[in-house]
Chain A
Amino acid sequence: DVKVTQSSRYLVKRTGEKVFLECVQDMDHENMFWYRQDPGLGLRLIYFSYDVKMKEKGDIPEGYSVSREKKERFSLILESASTNQTSMYLCASSTGGGPYGYTFGSGTRLTVV
């Protein structure tokens, strides 16, 4: 059973802080993704990666960066957190050669105060 694990379920951070959200998958998936989920807006793609050290901007990358130093780990970084980044963040992974469906992590609910 594929597991995608997000390190924190809930986070509260202050405006201006640098925030790291971590995601680890254990099934050797090539592709990893970060989405944010907001009521009425669905899931919006922030960044994705199809290989180690590779990253691509999604639809809403502003204010975010990512890091993928190992195949199993994909980190989302909020360089200077702002209140409009309060959201549910979902990590997902999929196998290469697709497209194939995602397996999602449980999500991190981030509140920026």
Chain B
Amino acid sequence: GENVEQHPSTLSVQEGDSAVIKCTYSDSASNYFPWYKQELGKRPQLIIDIRSNVGEKKDQRIAVTLNKTAKHFSLHITETQPEDSAVYFCAASRRGGGADGLTFGKGTHLIIQP
């Protein structure tokens, strides 16, 4: 089955700096790669996603890049702010299908230092 590795497990950056979280996946059939943000005590919320026919997608301060050949995708957050502090999860579609669900990475705790 699909396996998703996420690094680092904890990332501390100064406010205003950029943060990068990296994930790799194992199943070449995976075609959908969302990112979720989970604040303390709250449900995970979808923040951005990318499909396998696209190499990069941007939404204001966040962007995601995908390298299908290397089976690698990354989340980039620029000009970090205190409200960016949270746990971030990457995910990849299982067996390439939406009905089959997502496999998640183990999460990255992003800490924004004032």
Contact = CB atoms under 8 A, between A and B. Distances in A.
Interface of A: 30-31, 33, 35, 40-45, 48, 50, 56, 58-59, 90, 94, 96-107
Given A90-B43, A90-B44, A104-B43, A99 B106 contact: no
A44 B49 CA distance: 19
Nearest to A42: B106
The dominant DSSP class at the A interface is loop
Contacts, number: 65
Given A42-B89, A43-B89, A98-B32, A106 B43 contact: yes
Interface of B: 1, 6, 9, 31-32, 34, 42-46, 49, 89, 93-94, 97-107
Nearest to B49: A101
B34 A101 contact: yes
